[in-house]
Structure formats: structure tokens, C-alpha cells
Structure 1
Amino acid sequence: MQFNLLFCLFILSGTLLPAQVVFPGDLNNDGTANYLDLLPLGVAYGQTGPIRFEATLNWQPQEAELWGLNLPVSGVNLVSVDADGNGIIDSLDLDAIALNYDSLQTLSLPPPQPYLLTDTFLVEERPTLELRFNRTEATAGDTVEVTIFLHIPDPSVFPPTNPPTAIACQIAFDPTMINEASTRFLAAENSEDLMFIGAGTNNVDFGRSPLSGQLEFAAAGRGQGALAMSRPVGKFIIVIEDMILLEGSPGFDINDALLINLNEQVIDIQVETDSLLIVNTQAPAITATSLRAYPNPCTKSLQLCGGSDQEVKLFDHQGQLLRVFQQFGQDCQQIDMDVYPAGAYFFGVQTPENYQTLKVIKQEE
């Protein structure tokens, strides 16, 4: 009788205690699976704890037993970092991030909280995260290699027990100049000691994607201070949009760079980006058949002149073909622009001498 009573109390107590509930891929339990989830993996790599029975990588709530360890600053229990539930924090936990990238959740226990790192490791000389292009100029259809390089000015400021171990950032750019479907992430040279997540619009290694005009990147050592010295930490390949009619810079910029050490402390970091200029190698020569438009800017319509006997094409600012004018000839034509929203447009024509483009601006009335 006494045994039965104790057994019933044990079962009842189990139902009254709140269970730890995790979502595979949300390693920092902030409600989202994304590139920032690689940082806890780098800090806690190699730690072991209870196995999560009937574990799956599917994005669904899964009950788990608390580990006896938490991340040192954010306080996240390491059961969340063990994304695949096999009781070992290792590179296999990366799969859950890629599989569930951009997924959202509000049902974990404890509830998801913003991933806030409030402790700072002070250094006299700030490290620099750089974007390095393998060329200074590119034109439509060209392929450009971009290296993400971490420069550590003085490695001696980091004690062996507390070196930098993980880095994360967002990279913004003008999506009208880059063929986002062709963007690819690669591991940096000699980076076997690093894990990385690279997310573009169309891929995340094997997962989902961030917004257009944005890349997301993170790299982390395997529980070691792999970022204590200057080195490349990642690489991506971009292709210049082959329909591009614009010239100038694609506007690459590094945002929200975050460098942390093994104690999950933030190390202040600055950013730099090399220059990359998109040029038009078929710039029009000034000839008798050059395109001319007036008024420019316009509101409702304009007069377009030139173009010889070739067809003239009208493109929007993203390089999308809007209209083709046949049998244009040397005379001027009135072009109705009232049907298009305000913005920049381009007329293009292939003359016997070259390919010419003319930029016009449509303004609101």
C-alpha cells in the first residue's frame, strides 16, 4: 500500500512540474532559427548531457531533460544547444539550424527570450571584420569572389582561456545589381577548425533564406579559440546581374557584427569594406544616332529621338523589359510615361556602332 502511494505521488509530481521544451535549430532559445544560433554551438562545443528520447530535427516542441550547464552570459540551458538531442554538442547540431532556418516559435519552455549578451571583454585595439573583393571592377554577368576576413591587431591581449571563438554578421547590398539566385557560400581556405552558416535569398547551405538584398553569416570554432588570430572566416561568390543597366557601387555593407569569446563575452569590433565598381563596358559613343529625350525628368510623356532604324527597348530600374518600339527611325516619338510609376527608366538601342542606353526620370505630377 505504501509503495503504491509513493508511486502515485511520483507520477503526479511529474505531471505537475513544467517540462523543458525545445525547438531543434533554435539553439539560443530566442524564438528563431537563424545564423546567430551558431554562436552558442561554438561556445558549448563538446559538452555532453542527457539524451532527448524520440528526438527529431522537425520544427516542433519536444520535451527534454534539463542539462546541468548553462551558457555563461545568456543563461540558455545547454539542452537547447544540443539541437539533434543525441546528448553531445557537436557539428551535427548544425543540420537543425539549416533545416529550420527562419522558422519562428513561441512555445518553448522556458519561453523564448532575446539573445542578449551583456558582458563585454575590453581590448585596446579593436578587431576589424572586412569584406575583400578579388577585383575592383566588374560588369554585367561577371563573377566576383568576396572574402570575409577577421583582422586581430594584437593576439596577445586574449588569454589562452578566453580567446574569440565565434562571429556573426549581416551583409547588405543593392539587390538590383546582384543575381541573388547565383550567390554561393564557401568555407574559407584552411578553415577545417571552423563551422559556418551562410544564408542567401535562395539557400542556407540546405535551408531557407533571409530577405532580398541581405546575406547572413556566422562562423565558430569547435569549442576552441579559433578566432584569436587574423584569418579569413568565410567566402561567398556573387554574380553581377546580367540584365543590369546601372553603373556604380552595389553598396555592400556589414551590419550587426558580433564577435564573442569562449565565455560568451562580446568583443567590440569595427567593419571595413573594399570598393567594388560596376561599370558598363558598352558605354555609348556620341554619334548622330544617339538617343535623346526631353523633357527629362518628365511627368506624363516625353519626346524620344534617335536610334536609327533599330528597335528601342524600355527597361525599369531592375532591368525588366517593359516595352519594345519597332521601326523607330530618326524621327522623334512621343512616349507615354503616365502608365508607369515614378522612378528611373532606361531606353536601350543596338546601333551599328555600339549599344546605347539613356536614363530618364519619371516624376510624380
Structure 2
Amino acid sequence: MNQFMRIITKLSAVLLTVVFLNAPQTGISQTPYQTNQILVDSQFYSQVFNAFSLFIISHPSNGSATRINSPGARQMRYTPNPGFIGRDSVSIEVHYTVGANPNIKWYHYEIEVKESIVWINDLEIAIPANSGWHFIDLMGNDSSTSDSLQLSNISAVNRGFLEISNDSVFFKPISGFNGMGYIKYTACDEYNECGSATAHINIVDSSNVVVDGNLHLHTFRNRSVRALLPSIDYEVDEEPELGTVTPVGNTGIWEYKPIQNVTGEDSFKFQLNEEFFTTVYVTIHDIDDPNTFLVDDFIYTPKNTSVEFNVLENDLKNNINIQSFSAVTEGTLTHLGNGNFLYQPDSNFTGQANFTYRVCILGNCETARVAIFVGNLNPQNNLTYKLTTTKNRPLVINYEVPISNFMFHITQSPEFGALEVYPGIDTITIGCRDVRGNNLVVYEPNQDFVGLDEFELEYCVDGQLDCQVVKIEVEVLDLTIDSICVCIDDCVWPGDVNYDGKVDMRDLLSLGWYIGSVGISREDVDLVNWYGQSGDDWVSNQVSGENLKHADTDGDGLVSAADTFAISNFYNKVHTLLVEERYEHRDFAISLVEASSGPYYAGDLVRFYVVAGSESNPAMDLHGIAMSYNFNNTPFDFSNLHAVEYPSSWLTYDGPSLFMDKGFDNQLDFALTRMDGIGAIGFGIITEVGFIIEDDIDGFRRFPGDEEIFRVGVSLNNVTGFFAGAREYRLPETSSHFDIIIPGREMRPEFSEDLLHLFPNPAGSSDQIQLHLNGGYQIKSIELYDMKGRPIMKLDDIYSNRHHFTMDQLATGLYLIRVTTDAGPVTKKLQWIAE
């Protein structure tokens, strides 16, 4: 496995939607936003409201909505147009009481009308650790309105092995492992309606139960949370006070459900055989209820340019009036009436300004936020853009930004092609494709030209003097696309999952959110050469508005962990101009904590923990996080720069995850994301970063009067959080340091077992076993034993502070490694997983 690229895959779970079929329903949770499915030519019924009146405030586009009114039992019925298949929506207003200040609620329904409906449900089971093959009835509780539901594929397997025989699925846990394993699968019917789910497999080993253990869990008001126990035989010893705890089958998985609307601290205790106890502490955090008729606004304006906008246009209720609004954080704000505002930024200010407005409808009030981004949205120009196209194929730069008064000027023409700018909003035809955009730039290479070409563009905003020059280098690949209509715009660039123009760790965060989605597969997929590839749009879009087809990087019609290959292979590639960053910010602590003990010598292994959140300010609803680890102004070089997911990370404690790292030039980019669409709450260690100080530090000698220790600064930059709801925020950067002992100092730290590092552990057949001894000490010999003490291997005369070896011929299991050093012996336990 490439030392700079490690992918740890766990499996995704699928959020279930409420489904109503052809009959009135009661007792359904009255959430303000619902997604529902019905069959073609059938009807949808809302839940029954014990209310005074019900009004339809937004009618469907492809059907009709009617009220069903009985005293104290109000309901909405949706009827799609005959033969209609697709998505429709309805919004209603429910008056629970009457009078001067009635209790009013608003509900919004998205209705998917389909030829068939599938129900694919998660599965929870328990199996013993160190056991053999187990039959897993993956689809035992799955169903479809048709009779043709079949297992389509297995997306991934975690913490075990899988075999399929005669359509039966068998799972075998990894030897020596206890904890959660997963099987991710997709099932489809004859109408190509598909769904994905996860088998959660608790691999239990009662011999590893601690006498008195603790679990610390966090959840939101009205959200359940699971406690995962290492035995199926635990019983509740002390009940919680603020909720209930119930077993999820006989699996060792227990679900805690807080009382409706309660917040605070709760605890409960489990016991096993009156000897082992586990206490679970739960913090129930408050959370703002979502707005039901007001929608936040995002406004963009160039620097030194006023902007007029209406905040009510996108709200879900018509004919409303603003009750009040706050002062804007930067600049000058004027209310013109009827929801219209005029904003004037301060002179030369760039950044984000915010204010809120409040609307009350008969005493039912909501507050919405308005974020105003001030700036010219310049293309990033710190480096030369390296774009690609194929032979005889035009390259279109469609710079899509939420301002329109910009333009491009050609400041340097290409040598081996033609360059043209189409000013203003225009639709042009290239071959048999129409492309629409604002100030489109088209580069067309000369006939049959292959190689490098370059040109320069100047980006200007009307009335602004500080134009930006961008340098663009185009590589024309010696490839001829065998297609009547080659893709020109909105192409799939494998790896650019979020379709922002660049392949980076943020694409892994988006991939984790959409894992399990299915759509139309692509033909002629190329994961070797970087160019835009044709792909039909999928039915669904990402939350950002980009089509979901971009998440399927390998073109197989399924968003899966396999799509990480293209992110790795095309990492840092770009295919268009990149807009300057304009993230919103969230403010919880990100910190680096030294995990190994310094000061360090040449050849030592250094480790840092990455900690997210704090006890006083935990991270809320976090789904994934990406960042860059950098060294600051150091004369030294470092090798084996890598990161790993922390085994007991709070971010992925109860859910499947995906991890990736990519290192280059003394920088390490890495990301960790869940794959179940559920945000986590908590604080503590999430990942670990490690590297080795290069031996050439010996050329950096201390002279009389010099300090004996050189302090090296490290930092985490470009920290991006991906939160539930698919919203990205920039998080605070952080820094730390470690100390290197300059050669010439004789004193070594006192020897301890902690100076010896064994990794990876667990290790598999594709891994080399690495031993690293810090502190200036040396490894003399290595001995390998099985758990019965029988010798297997011995390596003598090493006399180095590091060594690696393989165990490819050995069976899965636990092994003992005895390392003799120049300061004495050290024994470590290793878990080996053979293929």
C-alpha cells in the first residue's frame, strides 16, 4: 500500500423516509419537512392533525392537493396527474387553536411518484469473535411493491471477510477483533428502483470485558443514540432518568431515547454476571428547531458596490411582513419596505456581513439570517492553471460565480490554437453541444495538435481597478474520443465529486455524504487520463445544486468507496478556474496534541493527535472533516508522513467511516468522514499524524554557543468541516511544535517501552511491519512468537533505530514481537490479518 495513500473503509447506513401508500395514516411524527414515496396513479395522505383548520399554501405542479376536514381531524390528500412519474411538492398551514395568538405550524412535503417502491432496511446482529462463517440474511426485512427485489451488489465489507454462494451471503470476522463490523449492500427491483442499507455486526468477545468501564455519549434533544457493548449478555442495572434504554434485539447494541424535548445530563448502568459494570453518561444538547416558513438568504456583491435585494422572495409563506431586523455587522443597511433592503459595504471592505430579520404571523415568530458576501470573486491566481483537453476538442472555461458584471480580456494568446471570449450571457454551439454561460472562454487547439500550449486572461469587475491576471497552461492529450457528441460542458471529471473544479479532500467529504446513491452508469470510463467525460444526469442533485453523477467517479452507476480511487489518482488536478474562497466559519476548537515523547533525535518517529471540539464547546452535528498538516520554516526533512483514523474516534464511534490521506512536499492532506448521513456530537481525538525525522539532520551540527534543541513548528491549515445537511464551514486553524536535539549532545532520554513504536497494528497482507525506536537507541534483534510462545522468526545484527519485515506466509492471529535493544528487551503484541 502506498505510504502516502491509505483508505480505511467502513460502511454506510441509509436514512429511512416515511412512506404512505394509498390510505390515511395516523400517529406519524409531525416533522415540518418530509420526503414520501407513492406509486403512480395512487394517492398520498398526510398525517391526521388534531387541529381547528388546515390550508394548502403551496399547490403541487403535477397533481392536485385537497383538504379532508372533520372536526379535530384535518388532513391533506395529494393526487398526482394520471401517469405522472417524478417529484412534486405541497405545503400546508395548520391552525391548532384560534384566537388572537393561535398556534400555527407549517409542513412541507416532497412526494416522489414511482412505478415501484423498495424498502431496504438496516440489520443488526451479533456474532462471537474468532468464529467461523455466519450466514447473514441481508434482505430478510427488505421488500418491494414488485416481486423482483434482488441483491444488486456488495459495496464493501468491514472487519471481516465475505463469501457469496448461491445468492447466500456469509461473513467471517477477522481473527482477534472485537467491535463493530459492517456489510454495505444495494438491492434493486425490475423497475431499477434501488436502495442501500448496512448490516451492523457486533463482533463480541466477553473475555475482553473490563470490570468497570465508562462510555460518554452525546446527542441532540429528541434524537436517540446507541451504546455499543462487547457482550450480548449485559443487563440494565440502573435505569436512566431523562429517557429510556432498550436493546436492539439480542445484539449487545442498546438504544437510548431521551424524553421528548428534554435536555441535560443523564446516566445509566449495565452489568454482566454481577461482576462487570459499564456506566453510560449521556449529554443531551439543545438544538434550534428548523424554520418552517422563513429561509436564510445568501447575497453576493462586488467590492465597493451596493446591492439591493428582497429577503422575502425565497420564503415559504406569502404576504408576510418583517417585524424587526438587526444591525448589519459590516457596512450600512437600509430597509426600503416590503422585504427590500439596500446594503452598502464599507470602502474597500471584503468579507462577510450578516444580519437577521424576524417575521411574526399571529404571534408565531421565526428569525432568518442574511449573509452578504462582499468581494470580486476573483479566480485564484497563486499558481499557473494546468488544464487538459483531448486532440481536436475545444476547452470551455465557464466561470460560474453569483455576480454577473465581470469580464475576461485576453492578455496573451496561445501559440498552438485559437482563444475567444464571448462577452455577457450567451449560448454558443460547439459541435453538437450547446453551452450557456457568462463571459465564456473557449480555447480550440489547432487541428491534430498535441502537446502544451499557454495563454493569459485578465479578470475584471465593472468599475474596479484591481483586475487579476491568470496564467493557464493547457495540455492537449493525444487521445481521440470516439463519440459523435463529445462532452464540452458539465462533464464528469473523475474525482471532482463536488464539481468545484478541483480534486481535493473536500471531495471525500461529499463522497461520504452520498455513499449508496445509484443512477445511470457511464460508458468509456477512463481513470488513467484526466479529461472531461460524458455522463447522463442522474435524477438527484447534490445539496450544492451540482448533479449527483459527479460523485460516481468510476462510472458504475453506484456511489461507493471504490470512487475514492479517482480522488487519489487525480488528486490536486483542476479543470477550470477556481473562485477565491468564500466559506462561512464555525468556531470550535481544533488542536494538535503531541502523542509521542520528545525531544527527538534524527530517525525518531513523531506522532500528533488531532483533537476536535472541547468539553465546553463540543463539535455539533459534524459529519466529516478535512485539513492540511504543514511544517513551518524548518531546515529539516521528514519521511513517512502519514495520518490514520483514531481507533476510538468519537466522530465515527457509532457509524461507518471513510478515511484518506495524501502527502507531498512536507505537507499532508487528510480527511475523515462518516457515511451514514448523521452528524456526530462530541469532542476528543479523531485522527493521528506521524512522520520520521530524516537522518540527514546529522549534517546540521551544533557549534559552541548554539542551542542544543531546535524547535519545529507544525500547523493544521485549510480545516473544513462538513456538517449534517451537507453544509461546509471553515474551522479555526491551529499550530503546535516539537523539539529536535541537534547532533553533538550526548545525553539520551531514559529508556522506556513507549520509545518503541510498532505499526500498523492491526496489520494485513499488503503491509510491512514497521518497528521504530526513538531516543537515540538502537534495535539489535527481533524475535517473533505465536501466542503459545513458539518461536517463528528471528532477525539478528540489525543495529538501527528502525526495521521492517513481512509476515505474508503466516495465518491470521495474534503474535508477540520481542525486540532486543541496546538498553534492554521490549515485547509488543501484534494483530495480523492474512488474506
TM-score band by shorter chain is: 0.5 to 0.7
Correspondent of 2:724 among 262, 265, 270:
262
- Is the contact between residue 132 and residue 273 of structure 1 (CA under 8 Å) also seen in structure 2? no
1:189 aligns to 2:659 (yes or no): no
Structure 2 counterpart of 1:172, which letter? Answer: N
1:43 aligns to 2:513 (yes or no): yes
Q: Equivalents in 1 of 2:727, 2:518: separation in Å?
A: 22
Instruction: Map 1:82-161 onto structure 2 (within 5 A).
Output: 82-106=552-576, 114=579, 126-134=587-595, 135-151=597-613, 153=615, 158=620
Structure 1 counterpart of 2:643, which letter? Answer: F
Against the structure 1 CA distance between its residues 155 and 267, is the aligned structure 2 distance closer, same or farther, given a 3 Å change threshold?
A: farther
CA-based RMSD of the aligned residues comes to: 3.1
- Is the contact between residue 503 and residue 571 of structure 2 (CA under 8 Å) also seen in structure 1? yes
1:34 aligns to 2:521 (yes or no): no
- Superposition deviation, residue 199 in structure 1: 1.6
What secondary structure does 1:38 align onto? helix
- Superposition deviation, residue 182 in structure 1: 2.3
Correspondent of 1:222 among 644, 650, 675:
675
Correspondent of 1:68 among 539, 560, 569:
539
Structure 2 counterpart of 1:132, which letter? Answer: V
Against the structure 1 CA distance between its residues 218 and 137, is the aligned structure 2 distance closer, same or farther, given a 3 Å change threshold?
A: same
- Is the contact between residue 43 and residue 261 of structure 1 (CA under 8 Å) also seen in structure 2? no
Q: Equivalents in 1 of 2:617, 2:678: separation in Å?
A: 11
1:172 aligns to 2:630 (yes or no): yes
Instruction: Map 1:15-34 onto structure 2 (within 5 A).
Output: 15-16=432-433, 19=487, 20-34=490-504
- Is the contact between residue 583 and residue 730 of structure 2 (CA under 8 Å) also seen in structure 1? no
What secondary structure does 1:97 align onto? helix
Percent identity, aligned pairs only, is 23
Q: Equivalents in 2 of 1:155, 1:231: separation in Å?
A: 11
- Is the contact between residue 639 and residue 691 of structure 2 (CA under 8 Å) also seen in structure 1? no
Q: Equivalents in 2 of 1:77, 1:30: separation in Å?
A: 12
**Which of 1 and 2 has higher RCO (CA within 8 Å, sep 6+)?**
1
- Is the contact between residue 136 and residue 275 of structure 1 (CA under 8 Å) also seen in structure 2? no
Against the structure 1 CA distance between its residues 117 and 78, is the aligned structure 2 distance closer, same or farther, given a 3 Å change threshold?
A: farther
1:199 aligns to 2:669 (yes or no): no
* Superposed CA offset, 1:216-244 (max 9, x none): 12221114336432243322221112222
Q: Equivalents in 1 of 2:521, 2:639: separation in Å?
A: 39
* Superposed CA offset, 1:162-200 (max 9, x none): x21121112220474554332233332146722122121
Q: Equivalents in 1 of 2:613, 2:574: separation in Å?
A: 34
Q: Equivalents in 1 of 2:673, 2:517: separation in Å?
A: 15
Against the structure 1 CA distance between its residues 177 and 151, is the aligned structure 2 distance closer, same or farther, given a 3 Å change threshold?
A: farther
Structure 1 counterpart of 2:622, which letter? Answer: P
- Is the contact between residue 41 and residue 89 of structure 1 (CA under 8 Å) also seen in structure 2? yes
* Superposed CA offset, 1:263-295 (max 9, x none): 23234633444442122363389xxxxxxxxxx
Q: Equivalents in 2 of 1:117, 1:260: separation in Å?
A: 15
Correspondent of 1:53 among 508, 523, 528:
523
Against the structure 1 CA distance between its residues 156 and 99, is the aligned structure 2 distance closer, same or farther, given a 3 Å change threshold?
A: closer
Q: Equivalents in 2 of 1:185, 1:42: separation in Å?
A: 18
- Superposition deviation, residue 157 in structure 1: 8.2
Structure 1 counterpart of 2:511, which letter? Answer: L
Q: Equivalents in 1 of 2:619, 2:719: separation in Å?
A: 20
What secondary structure does 2:629 align onto? strand
- Is the contact between residue 504 and residue 567 of structure 2 (CA under 8 Å) also seen in structure 1? yes
What secondary structure does 2:659 align onto? strand
Structure 1 counterpart of 2:689, which letter? Answer: F
Q: Structure 2: which 5+ runs fail to align?
A: 1-430, 436-486, 702-708, 748-835
Against the structure 1 CA distance between its residues 41 and 178, is the aligned structure 2 distance closer, same or farther, given a 3 Å change threshold?
A: farther
Against the structure 1 CA distance between its residues 139 and 175, is the aligned structure 2 distance closer, same or farther, given a 3 Å change threshold?
A: farther
What secondary structure does 2:687 align onto? strand
Q: Equivalents in 2 of 1:284, 1:119: separation in Å?
A: 51
Against the structure 1 CA distance between its residues 115 and 194, is the aligned structure 2 distance closer, same or farther, given a 3 Å change threshold?
A: farther
Structure 1 counterpart of 2:600, which letter? Answer: A
What secondary structure does 1:243 align onto? helix
Against the structure 1 CA distance between its residues 275 and 176, is the aligned structure 2 distance closer, same or farther, given a 3 Å change threshold?
A: closer
Q: Equivalents in 2 of 1:52, 1:228: separation in Å?
A: 38
Structure 2 counterpart of 1:64, which letter? Answer: G
1:232 aligns to 2:685 (yes or no): yes
- Superposition deviation, residue 152 in structure 1: 5.0
- Superposition deviation, residue 156 in structure 1: 8.3
Q: Equivalents in 2 of 1:224, 1:105: separation in Å?
A: 29
- Superposition deviation, residue 94 in structure 1: 0.7
Against the structure 1 CA distance between its residues 100 and 175, is the aligned structure 2 distance closer, same or farther, given a 3 Å change threshold?
A: farther
1:282 aligns to 2:744 (yes or no): yes
What secondary structure does 1:62 align onto? coil
- Is the contact between residue 583 and residue 729 of structure 2 (CA under 8 Å) also seen in structure 1? no
Q: Equivalents in 1 of 2:607, 2:570: separation in Å?
A: 28
- Is the contact between residue 55 and residue 85 of structure 1 (CA under 8 Å) also seen in structure 2? yes
Q: Flag the structure with higher helix content.
A: 1
Q: Equivalents in 2 of 1:237, 1:29: separation in Å?
A: 31
Q: Equivalents in 2 of 1:157, 1:141: separation in Å?
A: 36
- Is the contact between residue 48 and residue 87 of structure 1 (CA under 8 Å) also seen in structure 2? yes
Structure 1 counterpart of 2:696, which letter? Answer: M
- Is the contact between residue 517 and residue 559 of structure 2 (CA under 8 Å) also seen in structure 1? yes
What secondary structure does 2:550 align onto? helix
Q: Structure 1: which 5+ runs fail to align?
A: 1-13, 107-111, 202-211, 286-365
Q: Flag the structure with higher strand content.
A: 2
- TM-score, normalised with respect to structure 2: 0.27
- Is the contact between residue 180 and residue 200 of structure 1 (CA under 8 Å) also seen in structure 2? no
- TM-score, normalised with respect to structure 1: 0.59
- Superposition deviation, residue 140 in structure 1: 1.6
Count of equivalent residues: 248
Structure 2 counterpart of 1:196, which letter? Answer: F
- Is the contact between residue 634 and residue 713 of structure 2 (CA under 8 Å) also seen in structure 1? no
- Is the contact between residue 164 and residue 260 of structure 1 (CA under 8 Å) also seen in structure 2? yes
- Is the contact between residue 167 and residue 259 of structure 1 (CA under 8 Å) also seen in structure 2? yes
Structure 1 counterpart of 2:491, which letter? Answer: V
- Is the contact between residue 632 and residue 715 of structure 2 (CA under 8 Å) also seen in structure 1? no
Structure 2 counterpart of 1:45, which letter? Answer: I
What secondary structure does 1:250 align onto? strand
* Superposed CA offset, 1:285-335 (max 9, x none): 9xxxxxxxxxxxxxxxxxxxxxxxxxxxxxxxxxxxxxxxxxxxxxxxxxx
Against the structure 1 CA distance between its residues 100 and 153, is the aligned structure 2 distance closer, same or farther, given a 3 Å change threshold?
A: same
- Superposition deviation, residue 45 in structure 1: 2.2
